[in-house]
Amino acid sequence: MTVENRKQRLRRLDLVFVRAPIYFVTACTENGRNILATPSIHETLLRFGKEGPSHGAWIGAYVVMPDHLHLFVATDDEKIAISAWMKSLKNSISKTLRANGIAPPHWQKTFFDHLLRSSESYSEKWNDVRDNPMRAGLVVRAEDWPYMGEIFALGYRSEY
């Protein structure tokens, strides 16, 4: 199966099975500024995420906190540099922040990424991350936080 055929097939699936890496990514705002947990930033993330397959990347589960975001990202193959992808995401969100009158700098220059090894580590990590808004005292129940969800359901498959 050619890479192009595989990409076309993956774009049609509701559940995206990947052999390529799934990354757990965290990006923080500059100086811990509370600028991210808003409807317009959430919409920007959703729009960016839904356009991702055309660039070879899928956002799975995510949480947008006031001063940082956590997300799971799968890529088509190793051609997609997570650092370049992250720069593009930050730029998209920064454009929305500027349009809302929030002056830069918006982001710390770096971000944290961790390569997940199995579906178990994905679900374990998600179980921890989804409770962040509750632990921060922003909601009583994690599921009440309006700035989290899943754009694509990601899963591992060892063979196609």
Summarised one tens digit per residue, pLDDT across range 70-80 is 999 988 766 56
Digit-coded pLDDT (tens) for 21-58: 789 999 999 999 999 999 999 999 999 999 988 888 89
Domain 3-156 has CATH 3.30.70.1290: yes
* Residue 13 confidence (pLDDT): 43
pLDDT reading at 139 higher than 70: yes
* Residue 115 confidence (pLDDT): 85
Question: What are the structural domain ranges in the chain?
Answer: 3-156
* Residue 7 confidence (pLDDT): 44
Say what percent of the chain tops pLDDT 90: 60
pLDDT reading at 98 higher than 60: yes
pLDDT reading at 14 higher than 60: no
Instruction: Provide the residue type at 3 as one letter.
Output: V
pTM of the model: 0.83
